Structure 1
Amino acid sequence: MPAARKAQPESDAPVVRLQTSDEQRPAGRLLGDELRFHRERLGYTLADAARVIRASTSKVSRLERGESPAKPRDVHDLAVFYGLSREQQSQLDQLLAQAGNADLYARFADVTPNFLKRLIRLEGTAEKISVFEPRVVPGLLQTEAYARAIVQLMEVGLSDTGIERIVALRMQRQVMLDKGVPTLAALISEDVLYRPYGTASVMVEQVAFLLKATLTNRVNVRIVRTEAMAPPYPLFHLTFADGDCQELAYVEHLDGANYVTQKRQLDKYRRLLDNVRANAYGREDSTASLKRALGYWEQLAATEQPE
């Protein structure tokens, strides 16, 4: 494995960017992020990658940001240079197809074994994340015990070691919130606060964590009133400060995610989130709702038998 080296400054003359459709850009960003991940993992610089595909460092930088259309030959050559496995190359081929066929993949699925790692990297490069959750506490705000209870429920038959690996990976999503970016706007259905995952003590810890999160400047928690009309599925919307791909939406599942990339669908997601936000309590009432739920679980926890 080569030693990490400092990236060389770019000195290329300005170039005219090729235009890509609104649907291609998000898929291209995912492909570029995957290529950047492997390059940095191996300690290569932009200049190293540029030599492989016979291009400038600025072109590689644009490719990794999803700003330039990816050529199959370039992706293949980089995959070989990075020594990727057949499975890893297959994942790149899927992303390449998605980036190159906007109509077919305007809404595409990621069901690879590494989908959660990809989501973590994607969230880590976002400037702002907005999420509505009607069923569980959003993954970015779950405590370890709460997350473990959900994984144990859904992954029946999985070994304890396997469960702990999934939980540990999900906990990595919270680490990025300590960096100052992205900011998180979380809309949570009031019903979620009373839906038990784990023991009453687990729920006490979870609701208390949400209350603590409301005190930070980076997390904005709003509780959506029970009687509000809201979508029955979760909504995630990400905005980015860099590159041409300024936004992306996705619907996360336990073992995969559907990415929404079509402009019309992105507009729909923004409108849905705006409607949900309009039916949410304000800051003070959201805090009061969380405190009521905390009191409810504390009473139940007081009657629990120790394990």
Structure 2
Amino acid sequence: MVGAKLTGRWRIASVESPTFVRFQLGAQLKRAREKAGVTTEQAAALIEVSPSTLRRIEQGRVGLKGPALNALLDRYGVADAELRETLRSMAQAGKQRGWWAKYGDLPNSYRQYIGLESAASAIENFETLVVPGLLQTVDYARAIISADASQPTPQATDERVTVRMERQKLLTEEKLRLVAVIDEAVLRRQIGGPEVMREQLSALLDAQKRWNVSIQVIPFREGAYASMVSSFHILSFDEGPGVVYIEGLTGDLYAEGEDVDRCTRVFSSLRAAALSPTASTAMIKRIRDEGTP
């Protein structure tokens, strides 16, 4: 049966993250289309949208109305009544608005990531240059965001900082477990100046005390290691398959399936190359107390 991983037991409580619901619905529709041997162009023509719009539907970036969904399911040969009802419920839930919807200047790609993040039960995050967003202080985040040429106004910068701090409630409210592996360069790059960095390093030390946060540092002496030129996030969910997220200058990439397995193996090798959490804490404290790059 197409989409056998989804059944009527899907908890519509997941509507807390409509983005996650749309993402899972899109993934199911893509698998169903491919199993049925229907091309993107044929499916798009059936519901009278462009092929690019259909791809956005399958990526979970836009929603889908009931009649169009029914037409696709009919064309794909999805006859199971329970599955069809589940997918219709998901399409309806995907129309809801997340807390981030009130921030009008956020890029659509960022909105999608926030939606997936808010539904995740755990995130494994590797960063080569900057502190993970969920661990950034206000001043550090402002320095990072202000340096981004795509932020045209002070209002947009303020909005992005506010959103970043709001996202951190996932950790403080213990709704999420974060395992972060960072390069030593993250600790030594003077973003925002010495005082901002000292505050940021102190914040990392405080975060390390949380049961749901683990930080490991790969020291310079480690030399070359896997994925040292590419940061990534692995998002795990209580329901549904995991997702890999890679942020890029010209666009964001989401991957599933074998790519998640491959990145999980890479992340395990990164943790093995890194200092233990205890030794990492000692390094962070030493660099903070030195106060020099």
Provide the residue aligned with 1:247 in structure 2: 242
Q: Any idea what SS the aligned residue of 2:247 has?
A: strand
Flag structure 2 segments of 5+ consecutive residues without an equivalent.
34-49, 61-71, 73-105
Provide the aligned C-alpha RMSD in A. 3.6
Is the contact between residue 237 and residue 250 of structure 1 (CA under 8 Å) also seen in structure 2?
yes
The structure 1 segments of at least 4 consecutive aligned residues displaced by more than 6 Å after TM superposition are 33-36, 89-92
1:36-57 Cα distance to aligned partner (Å, 9 max, x none): 639xxxxxxxxxxxxxxxxxxx
Provide the residue aligned with 2:188 in structure 1: 194
Confirm or deny that 1:134 pairs with 2:95: no
Aligned residue pairs, count: 222
Provide the residue aligned with 2:2 in structure 1: 18
Provide the residue aligned with 1:165 in structure 2: 159
Work out which of the residue numbers 86, 90, 95 in structure 1 matches 2:56.
Answer: 95
Work out which of the residue numbers 249, 266, 271 in structure 2 matches 1:272.
Answer: 266
Deviation for aligned residue 1:144: 1.2
Q: TM-score, normalised by structure 1?
A: 0.63
Q: Distance in 1 between matches of 2:177 and 2:51?
A: 33
Confirm or deny that 1:203 pairs with 2:197: yes
Q: Any idea what SS the aligned residue of 1:69 has?
A: helix
Q: How has the CA–CA distance of structure 1 residues 251 and 290 changed in structure 2, closer, same or farther, with 3 Å as cutoff?
A: same
Q: Distance in 2 between matches of 1:250 and 1:230?
A: 17
Deviation for aligned residue 1:288: 0.6
- 1:239 is matched by which residue type in structure 2? S
Q: TM-score, normalised by structure 2?
A: 0.65
Deviation for aligned residue 1:63: 7.3
Q: Distance in 2 between matches of 1:128 and 1:36?
A: 15
Q: How has the CA–CA distance of structure 1 residues 176 and 91 changed in structure 2, closer, same or farther, with 3 Å as cutoff?
A: farther
Q: Distance in 2 between matches of 1:35 and 1:173?
A: 14
Alignment of 1:114-153 (within 5 A): 114-153=108-147
Alignment of 1:266-305 (within 5 A): 266-297=260-291
Deviation for aligned residue 1:148: 0.8
Alignment of 1:165-184 (within 5 A): 165-184=159-178
1:114-159 Cα distance to aligned partner (Å, 9 max, x none): 2222212211111110011011101111111111111111227722
Q: Distance in 1 between matches of 2:171 and 2:51?
A: 31
Deviation for aligned residue 1:252: 2.2
Confirm or deny that 1:69 pairs with 2:64: no
Q: Distance in 2 between matches of 1:36 and 1:195?
A: 34
- 1:260 is matched by which residue type in structure 2? A
Confirm or deny that 1:224 pairs with 2:208: no
User: Which shows bigger deviation, 212-221 or 227-236?
Assistant: 227-236
User: What is the percentage of aligned positions where both structures have the same residue?
Assistant: 29
1:55-114 Cα distance to aligned partner (Å, 9 max, x none): xxxxxxx87853853899xxxxxxxxxxxxxxxx999744324479xxxxxxxxxxx922
Q: Distance in 2 between matches of 1:63 and 1:113?
A: 17
Q: Any idea what SS the aligned residue of 1:249 has?
A: strand
Q: Distance in 2 between matches of 1:123 and 1:64?
A: 12
- 2:29 is matched by which residue type in structure 1? P
Deviation for aligned residue 1:163: 1.5
Is the contact between residue 237 and residue 248 of structure 1 (CA under 8 Å) also seen in structure 2?
yes
Flag structure 1 segments of 5+ consecutive residues without an equivalent.
1-16, 39-61, 73-88, 101-111, 301-307
1:164-202 Cα distance to aligned partner (Å, 9 max, x none): 122222222212212212100011111110001111110
